[in-house]
Amino acid sequence: MSINVESKKTQATQSETQDYIKKVLQLIEQKEISKEDAQWVTRETVENFRNHVNPGFLEYRKTVTKDTQFAAVEWSDQDSCFTDVNGKKYIDCLGGFGIYNVGHRNPKVVKAVTDQLQRQALHSQDLLDPLRAMLAKILADITPGDLKYSFFTNSGTESVEAALKLAKMYSDRFTIISTTKSFHGKSLGSLSATAKGMFRKPFIPLIPGVRHVPFGDVDMMRKTFESCALVGEDVAAVLLEPIQGEGGVILPPQDYLKQVRALCDEYDALLILDEVQTGMGRTGKMFASELYDVVPDIICLAKAFGGGVMPAGAVVANEKVFKSWFDNPFMHTTTFGGNPLACAAAIATIDVLLEEKLPERAAEVGEYFLNGLREVANEHQDKVLEIRGQGLMIGIEFHKDEVGYEFSKALFDKGILVAGTLINSKTIRIEPSLTIQLDEVDTVINAFKEVLPTLQA
């Protein structure tokens, strides 16, 4: 068996591999791409997804477009848009699931990362690294209430994992309350709090002690607190998205978050707010918790935290909670979290958000966007169930999944990228950069108006 494997691997010689690598690096270096190179890139991308990444992605991507055999291959991006390898430009209303709050390749963020790269890319892991300390101070300044200490991660699911471990370190309790339609990530701990059965079932049993109650139902949450206390499984923390993103852009009932905060205080439990998608100005405030005048014990950040340039995330907690890691800071660590490039990107991102008042802009442009979409949808209530949102986090919910799929394909053909949410596939998300121009918003609204009459109810 080992001889056969070795024989198969040597079919591609080292020289051929090196030639292939050089061609790819040359393409990366080029500012423009020729028609012939574009065809080669498309062919190689499709074949390598099929043979070396995951062929399932090809079937998924085919559903996005009617006019090409395979999905478009993206090549470059700027501002609110990206361009495919053949030069077709798209308005990006998916936004990488919400990572491009300050736009694609924001020049200030790119400059900060490039400048830092000229000095040091990664840190030694042993000495004190300055940008991590400075970013933590900035977060203490801008986050709500008494949030003070930060732990840095590379992604949203890592932020949730860290928050769950921090909550368990804080007390001897292990029960976590999450909600239905929630999405907190897909690594084992965060998946335990995520609600969608399709993602959970293959990996059951998951982390014990996680209970799900209906989002927005404070009475059921109170009963769960009471039941847990009666049987000696007191609640360690409640984990919530202030606005459910993957659940379909679900806004909480009035005063819901305040009532949950009061329950946590009453039962001495922590409140963890997952602001991976709602944070960094998306909803019209720097953090969605500010919309509801609620201060969590722990807040989780990622997605747009790295400015759409670097993968970056953070967990910020108050001193009461975070001090459980003071005695041994090695209880939870990461090699790449809080690296100098990611910290430079995050610092520059916060600067752009504050200097250009992008949270405030998200509130204004989001209201304009929502009103325009709703005006169009009023004439097609047989197809559109509801349009809802906050800031530039907008969901268009159709009566049927199939209508949503056809809608996203039709808009893609018109040069607009949208997609469904992971928990509620009937809902199409609109999450453009917070820098999107009003004429681009008008283009999307007009396309919505053109496409709706063509869809079968």
**pLDDT at residue 216, as a whole number:** 98
pLDDT at 350 over 80: yes
Write the CATH number of the domain with boundaries 107-356.
Answer: 3.40.640.10
Side-chain-side CA neighbours of residue 296 (13 Å): 29
* Residue 441 to residue 115: CA distance in whole angstroms: 33
Residue extents of the structural domains in the chain: 107-356
* Of the candidates 123, 156, 126, 114, the residue with the CA atom closest to the CA atom of residue 344: 114
- Band of residue 9 on the pLDDT scale cut at 50, 70, 90: low
Q: Is the pTM of this model over 0.75?
A: yes
> What does the pLDDT read at residue 77?
96
Residue 83: how many CB atoms within 10 A of its CB?
A: 16
Mean pLDDT of 215-225: 98
DSSP secondary structure code for residue 250 in this structure: B
Mean pLDDT, to the nearest integer, of 392-410? 93
Confidence band for 314, pLDDT divided at 50, 70 and 90? very high
Residue 306 has pLDDT above 90, yes or no: yes
Q: Are strands 313-318 and 298-301 parallel, antiparallel or unpaired?
A: antiparallel
Residues linked to residue 89 through DSSP beta bridges, in sequence order? 83
Binning pLDDT at 50, 70 and 90, where does residue 13 land?
A: confident
Kind and range of the H or E run holding 178: strand 175-179
| Mean pLDDT of the 255-260 span | 98
Segment 259-265 mean pLDDT: 98
Q: Taking residues 118-125, what's their average pLDDT?
A: 95
- pLDDT of res. 66: 46
Task: Give the mean pLDDT of 94-117.
Answer: 97
Q: What is the mean pLDDT of the chain?
A: 93
What average pLDDT does range 26-40 have in this prediction? Answer: 93
Q: What is the mean pLDDT of residues 208-231?
A: 98
92-to-6, 194, 437 alpha-carbon distances in Å: 44, 26, 12
Confidence (pLDDT) at 63:
46
The per-residue pLDDT for range 163-176, each reduced to its tens digit, is: 999 999 999 899 99
**The pLDDT of residue 68 is above 60:** no
pLDDT for residue 363 is more than 80? yes
Residue 347 has pLDDT above 80, yes or no: yes
In the predicted structure, residue 299 carries a pLDDT above the cut 50: yes
